[in-house]
Amino acid sequence: MDSENRNGAYALAFGLVGFIPMFGLVFGILSIVKGVAGINKDESRKLSIAGLVIGIISIVFNVIFFIFVILPWLLVGLLFWVCCLQFAEV
């Protein structure tokens, strides 16, 4: 790999790792930062643009995952906890 395209390669790698739900937001943001840096500094912008796009997609994926998977489980757990407290007072 050329040293001139290092930011683009990092952006692409961080963007792909960003699809893992636990690490998505952190690596998605890193991918966007490295993608923008690569667009400004690297000679070849192809990897940087790909990493930037994949980083944005991974952040959107993780927000949707949080809204439709994590948040309902948290709300169900909270509802169960509140119901248990009400029955314990009786």
Q: Which two tokens stand for residue 43?
A: 């000679």
Q: Determine whether 43 is exposed, middle or buried from the number of CB atoms within 10 Å of its CB (0-12, 13-18, 19+).
A: exposed
Q: Which two tokens stand for residue 75?
A: 């709300």
State residue 87's pLDDT score: 76
Domain boundaries, the chain: 3-65
pLDDT one-digit tens code per residue, 31-75: 999 999 999 987 888 999 999 999 999 999 999 999 999 999 999
Residue 1 pLDDT > 60: no
DSSP line for 44-60: --HHHHHHHHHHHHHHH
Residue 88 pLDDT > 80: no
Express as a percent the part of the chain with pLDDT over 70. Answer: 94
19: number of Cβ within 10 Å: 16
Q: What is the pTM of this model?
A: 0.81
Cβ contact 52:12 at 8 Å:
no
